[in-house]
Amino acid sequence: MGLYSSYYTYGLSTFVTVVVALYLLFTGSGEAFNVGQFLEETSPYAWASTGIGLCIGLSVLGAGWGIFVTGASIIGGGVRAPRIRTKNLIRCIIGIVYSARMSPVPDTLLYTRENYFTGYALFWGGLTVGACNLLCGICVGIAGSTAALADAADPDLFVKILIVEVFGSILGLFGLIVGLLMVAQASEFTAAAPAAAVSPFVH
Amino acid sequence: MSVCPPYAPFFGFGGVASAMIFSTVGVAYGTSKSGIGIAGLGTFKPELIMKSLIPVVMSGIIAVYGLVVSVLISGGLKATDYSLYAGFIHLGAGLACGFTGLAAGYAIGYVGDSCVRAYVYESKVFVTMVLILIFAEVLGLYGLIVALIMNARVSEASGCP
């Protein structure tokens, strides 16, 4: 890792993508790059499961990251001011994990418009909740670590710096609201009434 | 290739998600960076903490912008009778609000941190800080306006055949 690590990351992936795209184009199979086909032939269960996994995984990652950042400062500050050790650990619990309300109830495996809709809703909803919780956890962690250090310097500051943490924790709340809104319109996975697939790309 | 393919809501939901996620990135940066400055100010002059919470509040307003756009876009998503045109407009509106919120939050964080640290030594910095923060906040407002205008176009579109 060095000055050019971002060149490797973005440049290499761009180069590979361009090579693959040009290969498809010049060998006469340019139709193979079909975003719509990919979105239609992947199972809605795949989207839904990925969304739920991302929701839990990213939320836990955010909670852990926040706890680690705050805990490091608490332990470091506790060397000089041992009184801060118990008061500040309560703040670690701000990085909570929102339980997955998004649990699909699968019936039969059929590709209807409503099932596609549900799959996409669960994927994007889970990603939103997970990413917002991750960012909330990091933000609260950093704010909490500075609160711990300020508390080590002066005990009266703790409550005032807590206001910053409260503003940070509303981020996770907003993410949860948006995630719930997205999933509220999506019905459960149901079988189509006439047994027909709505997409030509499904076997 | 139909006008209303079944994968059109993928892009609509992508718009909702990107409006919320990207503005949350900006807000998280703004809150944490100015929070570091506020804690530094608090150890020297605790009586100024309440006035120096303004960058944190303005970052929260950016989060509300993202929330409003997400709620508005997700209200227009449906499983049937949803064209690809509507999907891409929703995606564009979400990206507009999200990336401007990211930029505004980043600016608020940097300005808040630096100005709050200067506020310890010179109290006349306060008015300047508020002015600069307003200009940074307005970036997110522009993104919100553009997202609202784009979202209004969706209802004008004709339905699916």
Least confident of A85-99, B43-57, B63-77: A85-99
> Given its phi and psi angles, is residue A28 left (phi above 0), alpha (psi -120 to 50 degrees) or beta?
left
pLDDT value of residue B122: 92
| Residue in A with minimal Cα distance to B46 | A157
Q: Calculate mean pLDDT across residues B10-36.
A: 95
pLDDT higher than threshold 90 for residue A85:
no
Mean pLDDT, rounded, for A3-11: 78
Considering only CB atoms, A121 lies closest to which of B13, B28, B49, namely B13
Interface touch A40/B31, C-beta < 8 Å: no
Interchain pair B1, A36: CB under 8 A: yes
> A113 versus B29: which is more confidently predicted?
B29
Pair of tokens at residue B34:
């100015």
Nearest to A171 among B24, B38, B79 (CB): B24
- Cβ-Cβ pairs closer than 8 A, A with B, add up to 161
Give B124 to chain A, closest Cα distance, Å.
23
Structure confidence at residue A109 (pLDDT): 54
Interface test with A, best of B20, B61, B81, B116 (most A CBs within 10 A): B20
Please tell me the predicted confidence (pLDDT) of residue A192: 62
Closest approach of chain A CAs to the CA of B19, in angstroms?
10
CA–CA min distance A201, chain B (Å): 11
Annotate chain B with DSSP letters as a single string. --SS-TTHHHHHHHHHHHHHHHHHHHHHHHHHHHHHHHHHHHHH-GGGTTGGGHHHHHHHHHHHHHHHHHHHHHHT--SSS--HHHHHHHHHHHHHHHHHHHHHHHHHHHHHHHHHHHHTT-TTHHHHHHHHHHHHHHHHHHHHHHHHHHHHHHTTS----
pLDDT of residue B12: 94
What percent of chain A lies above the pLDDT cut of 90? Answer: 4
In B, minimum Cα distance to A66 occurs at B32
pTM over 0.90: no
Q: Per-residue pLDDT tens for B130-139?
A: 999 999 999 9
pLDDT at B142: 96
User: What's the mean pLDDT in A137-164?
Assistant: 84
pLDDT on residue A5: 77
In the predicted structure, residue B146 carries a pLDDT above the cut 50: yes
Asked if A181's CB is within 8 angstroms of B9's CB, the reply is no
Interchain proximity B6–A116, CB inside 8 Å = yes
What pLDDT is stored for residue A202 in this prediction?
Answer: 59
Q: Which candidate from A40, A132, A182 shows the least CB-CB separation from B74? A: A182
Between A87 and A118, the more confident residue is A118
pLDDT in tens, A41-84: 888 888 888 888 888 888 888 888 888 888 888 887 766 554 44
Backbone angles phi, psi at A79, to 5 degrees: -65, -45
The model's pLDDT over B35-45, given as tens digits with 9 standing for 90+, comes to 999 998 988 98
Please, are residues A121 and A45 in contact by the beta-carbon 8 Å criterion? Answer: no
pLDDT at A94: 33
Whole-number Å distance between alpha carbons of A152 and A75? 11
**Nearest-CA distance A141 → chain B (Å):** 9
Q: How far apart are CA A192 and CA B8, in angstroms?
A: 19
Q: Which of A38, A120, A170, A189 to mutate to test the interface with B (most CBs of B within 10 A)?
A: A120
User: Using 50, 70 and 90 to split pLDDT, how confident is the model at A179?
Assistant: confident
pLDDT at A100: 42
Give the model's pLDDT for residue B37: 93
